A and B are shown apart, each in its own frame.
Chain A
Amino acid sequence: MRAAIATSIMALVVVMSTGKADAAGFNRNWTRYDAQSYAFHGLRERYVFGGAKFINNDRWDASCSSSCTSSQEGIDCSGFAAKVYAVPYLTPETTVYHPYPTFAFYYVGKDGYGPTGSYPYHGGRFWYSNGNNRNPYWMDMFVWDSHAGGPSDHMGLLRGRNSDGTWMTREARGAAYGVVEVNRSLGDLIRWHYKRVQRAAWGKK
């Protein structure tokens, strides 16, 4: 019996100490340059509600969502951002995988890390936000939440700061736009209570 208890305790310790990020194959070597390149490939491709795949050919191929043939594409804002961030793990541009809605990125845990709750690999330390939205950095995410003063549940990547102070984004903006580059003022982002979310770990180049 003691052996059984000891085995149970050992199993519990292993379960509780094993990083779920590791279980998901989270790539700590994924660099900002990798993410930038991935996001660039997505530009001018088709937006589809619930979609998580694009074909890098700068045209809107036939649409699809959760089930796509090789010649169909479609991706929404959270699907696109997750793929660019390679969370929970890296998936090819043409692989359909959409594990997280936008608000999964907005509501991080008390320690600042996500995903939380019932999402795949919850407890994994894939992204981070400490609430400071005044000083975004290259390839941070901006995330809006309609329950927190945002205009909608929407998110994208902050590609870089323009000379006029606005931020150039990469985002799957909507069915009328596709995946586009938008210049957004930091003031507008803050006015809509955006959350600045960073990847928990970036590789170095």
Chain B
Amino acid sequence: MKRFAAILLLAAGGCAAHTSGCPSRLEPTYLPARFRQVAARALVPGGGARTWRDGDRLVQLVDHVTANLGDNVRSTKVRGFVAAYGATGLPAAPLAVEWRDRCDTPYALLARGIGPAELLRIANGLRP
């Protein structure tokens, strides 16, 4: 009887838990010289944001992002996944690339003070 109750409780817990099992944290293996990680608020809604800066230049990685760049974008690949980059309308980060990584986890890498080629190099250097 106790075992039955325990199974019930486990089932109830399992229904509520997030069980994707997919890694969401990517780390940059390439950043332009002098970029250092800093604490900063997320520029767009999502699960979590990490920011690297060099003076006024900035890149920010946001996981589980719910933002979309619209239809005025350029297609590319990031880490082998379909991606798009374009203007954000955000003065704090005018450029971004967005893609869905493993397990359909959506990411955005936003930037200020660096161009698309550098942005894509950083994005393609991300590793779990």
Hey, which bits of chain A sit against chain B, CB under 8 A?
1-2, 4-5, 8-9, 11-12, 15-16, 46-52, 63, 65-67, 74, 76-79, 98-104, 118, 144, 146-147, 151-155, 171-177
The smallest beta-carbon distance between B90 and chain A, in angstroms, is 6
Hey, which bits of chain B sit against chain A, CB under 8 A?
1-2, 4-5, 8-9, 11-12, 15, 18, 20, 41-46, 65-73, 75, 82, 84, 86-91, 96, 98, 100, 104, 106, 108, 110
Q: Please determine whether B66 and A49 come into contact, CB atoms closer than 8 angstroms.
A: no
Q: How far is the CA of A66 from the CA of B20 in the complex (A)?
A: 25
The smallest beta-carbon distance between B75 and chain A, in angstroms, is 7
Q: Please determine whether B44 and A50 come into contact, CB atoms closer than 8 angstroms.
A: yes
Q: Please determine whether A50 and B75 come into contact, CB atoms closer than 8 angstroms.
A: no
**Closest residue of chain B to A11, judged by CB?**
B12
**Closest residue of chain B to A8, judged by CB?**
B8
Q: Please determine whether B106 and A103 come into contact, CB atoms closer than 8 angstroms.
A: yes
Q: How far is the CA of A193 from the CA of B8 in the complex (A)?
A: 43
Complex interface: chain B residues within 8 A of A146 (CB) = 75, 82, 84
Q: Please determine whether B66 and A47 come into contact, CB atoms closer than 8 angstroms.
A: no
Identify which of A12, A46, A77, A173 contacts B11 (C-beta below 8 A). Answer: A12
